[in-house]
């Protein structure tokens, strides 16, 4: 394989795949809805440890949106982090939904979150291999002096 062919193959490896766009998009949507749920909770008077939940949701939502963006840019570290965070958010949203229902708080967003974060976790998990290969291709291009600027 010539240098030009290798560079072309590396450039192709760095292009976002449809699955990366899907996974990143689902992750960003999950982050946005997590922020919506935090805003919903601020409309209630929360006492004790529950008062910290909206702040945790804001931090998780912002982090999830950022990770989703980087997943769409085929970053391996972001795909791994997004898979882990989305999986953790699936558990958290499921537990929070059950806790809220036992306390009389029912939210459509709360019902939507566990399947959405699970789908985001699965989709970004499937992107990890391609994103890591894109990272390696990006490093080879940089070594050849062909930075992509992203």
pLDDT at 4: 65
What is the pLDDT, as a whole number, of residue 146?
66
**Half-sphere exposure at residue 143, Cβ-oriented, CA atoms within 13 angstroms:** 10
- Domain residue spans in the chain? 18-132
Lowest mean pLDDT: which of 66-75, 102-111, 125-134? 102-111
**Percent above pLDDT 90 for the chain:** 57
Distance CA 134, CA 15 (A): 8
How confident is the prediction for the chain on average, in pLDDT?
A: 88
Give the pLDDT score at 117.
96
Is residue 1's pLDDT more than 70? Answer: no
DSSP symbols for 20-75: HHHHHHHHHHHHHHHHHHHHHHTTS---GGGGGHHHHHHHHHHHHHHHHHHHHTT-
| pTM score, whole prediction | 0.87
Mean pLDDT of 12-25: 88
- Round to whole Å and give the CA distance between 116 and 78: 18
Summarize the confidence of residues 77-86 as an average pLDDT.
96
């Amino acid at each position: 394989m010539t240098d030009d062919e290798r560079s072309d193959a590396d450039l192709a490896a760095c292009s976002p795949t449809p699955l990366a766009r899907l996974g990143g998009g689902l992750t960003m949507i999950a982050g946005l809805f997590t922020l919506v749920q935090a805003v919903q909770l601020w409309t209630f008077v929360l006492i004790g440890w529950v008062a910290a939940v909206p702040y945790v949701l804001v931090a998780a939502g912002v982090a999830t949106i950022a990770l989703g963006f980087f997943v769409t840019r085929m970053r391996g570290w972001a795909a791994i982090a997004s898979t882990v965070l989305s999986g953790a958010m699936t558990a958290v949203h499921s537990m929070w939904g059950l806790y809220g229902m036992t306390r009389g708080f029912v939210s459509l967003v709360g019902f939507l979150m566990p399947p959405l974060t699970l789908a985001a976790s699965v989709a970004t998990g499937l992107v990890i291999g391609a994103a890591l290969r894109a990272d390696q291709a990006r490093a080879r291009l940089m070594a050849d002096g062909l930075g992509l600027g992203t």
